[in-house]
Chain A
Amino acid sequence: MQLIYEKSVAGRRGVKLPLSDVPAAAALPEKLLRKASAALPEVSELDLVRHFTNLSRRNYSLDTNFYPLGSCTMKYNAKVLENAAVLFAPFHPMTALLPGGVEFCQGNLGMLYDLGQMLADITGMDEVTTQPLAGAQGEMTGILLISAYHRAKGNKKKYVVVPDSSHGTNPASAAIAGYEIITVPTAPYGDMDIELFKKAMTDEVAAVMMTCPNTLGLFNPHIKEISDIAHSHDALMYYDGANLNAIMGKVKPGDVGFDVIHVNLHKTFATPHGGGGPGSGPVGVKKALIPFLPQPRIVMDDDGKFLLEDQKSVSIGRTANFFGNFAVMARAYAYIIMLGREGLIQVSEQAVLNANYIKERLKAYYDLPYDMICMHECVFSASKQLEHGVHAIDIAKYLIDKGYHPPTVYFPLIVKEAIMIEPTETESKATMDAFIEVMIEAAIAAETNPQLLRDAPVTTPVGRLDETKAAREQNVCCIG
């Protein structure tokens, strides 16, 4: 398909602008002006609409295809959440920061406050900041809060401990927050090796970052013991909330020893992923960390009025220019109040049911390195298929030809040829059965006709792309 720049015709316009009702201003001094206008597209509105509509048709998406992308919780995004988000489009965020402005923003501030309270209940935390803009920023915020805690206590800490099954963002966020990383291997039972963990723990460890259930989809039965050991060194426990969808109403991270948590609203709380964002990553903390939370903090006074508190003294500062990705939070808020207590419990139950169903039905065809009850996702290995020269990526591409978005492949890094499947609770049995049949077909084809898999996909607008050429040539913008 042509680029929109290749469809440009000089002089064409895509929208009619307002006419001026004021006198033209005197020109700016020449030295402040750009020499030539930026070579932006010049297309009619219809050209524009066709271009982007046709581009959109070159995507698989949740509304068009089953999307069992492990660790991403691609659940259905209820349409009423979109309608709700639009209600908040006109509110200027500076209103709340003007003198006397909070009076005019009580609904919005109250919603953020209530969302924080509900997330605190779901996660077992004492207070939640809604400022962080995505999961990874939530992680960084959480680790900075932990550093502020240690700083206030005069603790000298250097390290953050992560299991080798962790999301890449965990060590990346801890490194950006100024820590060195200690990685603990996974034991054959599928969780961080507890003996190696004990050896890694010293008084120089600031935090232990865990995902529970972990990226293998397994709940760590030693989690309390791990947090007790961490606390004995005055290290704090950080919970990566990427996998929260498995446990709502079943177990609260705050109850099992976690001190800080981030929540991905675009995963568990059904806000759309947008082709790579926007997300939202609220962070919950235990009492001891409240003073360090980002400012301004939304608080409620004795009369039930919402205020902005801005005490810069010990706070880590600010993680976003305003109050976080507000319209994303409006969607998540609507989702929580709509599903309610029973609905959220049902979400976790059926997410876990669906993952176990797929795991059981496919384990005769694919190697299952950790064969036990899983939570919301299961991780296979294409090691059997590799004997026939078929890789996880070949199976992924075959699925595309059959109309499925592939599962996450090659993650977690500790499973060779990993295929990580997270169906989520919103998929029907019929959809999963059809997917399972295609996965079985792929396993059979790996033995009988491996070339079919290696040539896939053939139904898409382009076949497998030359990534080496892309990295070498670095054509990242079209020269105008």
Chain B
Amino acid sequence: MNDSHYCPHTPQEISEMLSVIGVASVEELFSPIPAELRAKTFNIPPGLSEFETFDRMKSIAAESSGDMLAFVGGGYYDHIIPAAIDHLSGRAEFYTAYTPYQPECSQGTLQALFEYQTAICRLTGMAVSNASLYDGGTACAEAAMMALRVTGRNKIIIDGCVNPFSRQVLKTYLYNLDVEVVEIAPLDGLLNRDELAGLLDESVAAVLVQNPNFFGCVDEFSALSQQIHAVQALLIASVYPISLGLLKSPGEMGVDITVGDGQSLGNPLSFGGPSFGFIAAQKAYIRNMPGRIIGETVDKQGRRGFVLTLQAREQHIKRHKATSNICSNQGLCALRGLIFLSSVGRQGLVDLARLNRDKAEYAKARLVEIPGVTVLQSAATFNEFTIFLPKPADGVVKELLKKDILAGVPLGQYYQCSENCLVVTVTEKRSKKEIDRLVRELEVAICN
């Protein structure tokens, strides 16, 4: 009966164990399940060897195209991943451990997550960070719910320039709650500040913005945060961590809660996951934060150590009164994020951000040389920008897919009257030669 090396018992051992238990067969152990409830069918195919399994997985991977030239973002970015990350996060002591409930034998995970929280705080200019959330979208949702708790109000205003997927996730989280969500349509790829001013009053819990936003535009929210604070509401900003090598940090703009997706920090694209979400805030809001938080302390001998702290906020203690239902987060992906930021380092992140912008600006300059192509000029951009094509972007993108190029994200399905708009992303991984190829192929597709 025993053909699986993942179930190690020999028949002899099984019969010894059964006699200790005092039953005649393994089947007898399932006697608490009433006979009439037992499964009548079970149609999983017969098992495969390890070799055959890997072979099958290789053929599945081969049925998709993994070597496309990526000029798309949409929240996920094709960045370099230093080699050390796979090796270090691939240490079984990290990846086969679980949530560090027993701190004495989990100091590796706990110290790493404390260092992660520190990195996120320093990057965003915030005072406190948790130990990670699921992804960028759920981080937006958790931040909104945090603002509802902090203010006791029930209205959230979302800038329509925020990633449309994140906006959908946020609305799903609030689906069955008595919360009003108001979306402001973008104006020239930026927050419509006049419309926001008209909506801001003391019923508003928070305003959610994104920087750079879905159009690629870089904004500055210092004045906005003052306006929002004037009605005692909170400003939530979703940010792209690589851009913070150059761009003004949320802390410098008076943001109250900062969130984002950590995929760009050392996590592979992997068809959309796993990555991690980050959330960081001003110190006053720490007790309203969701999820795990690691804190520094000492043992009886005064040695420094780290523990899960403020657990009275969490579901395993507070049950239905918890600040969030989150239990498992994205610990290993957050560890990868920390190793990424430590590897690239202080000046490295500045250089990396600059490299992204240089490449994008080169691509932008080349693309507008194509007859009929113009660029959205309302704001400066980082490594993504919006261009207007002389024909619908959908067809052009389809043509370039045939050439193994992901030419950009057409905006038509996300915004009204933007069928000709394309958001192009250029990371440090794209060479001049590859950018030139994009320009050439786009020109061909546009002229045909």
Partner pick for A37 among B21, B145, B292, B346, CB 8 A cutoff: B346
Task: Report A-chain residues with C-beta under 8 Å of the C-beta of B198.
Answer: none
Check A93–B29 contact: CB distance below 8 A: no
Nearest chain B CB to A218 CB, angstrom units: 7
Contact digits for B89-121, partner A, Cβ 8 Å, 1 yes 0 no: 011111111111111111111011111011111
Interface size on A, residues (CB 8 A): 210
- How many contacts between A and B, using CB within 8 angstroms? 713
For the complex, is A40 an interface residue (Cβ under 8 Å from B)?
yes
Cβ–Cβ < 8 Å partners of B261 in chain A: 321
Query: A379 on the interface (CB 8 Å rule)?
Result: no
Q: Is the CB of B362 within 8 A of A22?
A: yes
Contact partner, A467, options B107, B270, B309, Cβ 8 Å: B309
Binary CB contact string for chain B from 413 to 448 against chain A (1 if under 8 A, 0 otherwise)? 000000000000000110110010000000000000
A161 to chain B, nearest CB (A): 12
Stretch at the interface among B51-59, B151-159, B228-236: B51-59
B281-304 with Cβ < 8 A to chain A: 283, 286, 292-301, 303-304
Instruction: Confirm or deny: A365 has a beta carbon within 8 angstroms of a beta carbon on chain B.
Output: no
Q: Is the CB of A477 within 8 A of B13?
A: no
> B residues 44-102 with Cβ under 8 Å of A?
44-50, 53-54, 56-68, 70, 72-76, 78, 80, 82, 84, 87-88, 90-102
Q: Are A318 and B137 in contact (CB under 8 A)?
A: yes
Expressed in whole angstroms, the Cα–Cα distance for A181 and B333 within the complex equals 33
* A202 within 8 Å of B (CB atoms): no
- Determine whether the beta carbon of B401 is less than 8 Å from that of A104: yes
A429 to B17, CA, bound (A): 8
A28-B246, A373-B23 given. 9 additional CB < 8 A pairs?
A: A38-B123, A42-B346, A56-B108, A62-B96, A90-B67, A171-B319, A321-B135, A334-B53, A339-B4
Interchain CA distance A103-B78 in the complex, whole Å: 21
Chain A residues whose CB sits within 8 angstroms of the CB of B24 once the complex forms: none
| Set of chain A residues within 8 Å of B40, measured between Cβ atoms | 255
Tell me if A94 and B74 are in contact (CB < 8 A). Answer: yes
| Contact between A426 and B319, CB atoms less than 8 A apart | no
Contact B108 A223, beta carbon cutoff 8 Å: no
Q: Which residues of A are found within 8 Å of B394, using beta-carbon distances? A: 99
A175-193 contacts to B (CB < 8 Å) = 175-179, 181
Give the residue name and chain of the B residue nearest to A254 (CB).
B39
CA distance A23 to B271 in the complex (A): 32
A416 in contact (CB, < 8 A) = no
Residue from B9, B134, B273, B318 in contact with A429 in the complex, judged by beta carbons closer than 8 Å: B9
The 9 lowest CB-CB distance pairs between A and B, nearest first, are A340-B47, A322-B272, A107-B63, A274-B332, A93-B272, A276-B331, A317-B172, A278-B274, A178-B176
Q: How far is the CB of A177 from chain B (nearest CB, A)?
A: 5
Is the CB–CB distance between B118 and A5 below 8 Å?
yes
1/0 contact trace for B309-343 toward A, CB 8 Å?
11010111111111011111111110100010111
**Residue in A69, A84, A356, A467 whose CB lies within 8 Å of B29:** A356
Interface of chain A residues 341 through 400 with chain B (CB within 8 A): 341-347, 349-350, 352-354, 356-357, 360-361, 372-373, 375, 396-397, 400
Cα(A67)–Cα(B95), bound, Å: 13
Does A442 sit at the interface, judged by CB under 8 A?
A: no
Residues from chain B with a CB closer than 8 A to the CB of A457 are 104-105
Output the least CB separation between B322 and chain A (Å). Answer: 4
- What residues of chain B lie closer than 8 Å to A344, measured between beta carbons? 44
Instruction: Digitize A198-240: 1 where CB-to-B-CB distance is under 8 Å, 0 elsewhere.
Output: 0000000000000000000011010110000000000000000
Instruction: Please tell me if B391 contacts chain A, counting CB pairs below 8 Å.
Output: no
A153 on the B face (CB < 8 A): no
List residues of A (274-324) whose CB comes within 8 Å of B's CBs.
Answer: 274-280, 294, 316-324
Q: Quick check: is B169 within 8 A (CB to CB) of the other chain?
A: yes
In the assembly, what is the distance between CA of A334 and CA of B59, in Å?
Answer: 12
Contacts of A49 in B (CB 8 A): 84, 87-88
A448 within 8 A of B: no
B96, B299, B322: the one within 8 Å of A172 (CB): B322
B37 CB, min distance to chain A CBs, angstroms: 5
Contact call A274/B95, Cβ cutoff below 8 A? yes
Segment with Cβ contacts to A, from B183-191, B202-210, B349-357? B349-357
Closest beta carbon of chain B to A399's beta carbon, Å: 9
Give the complex CA separation of A106 and B64 in angstroms.
6
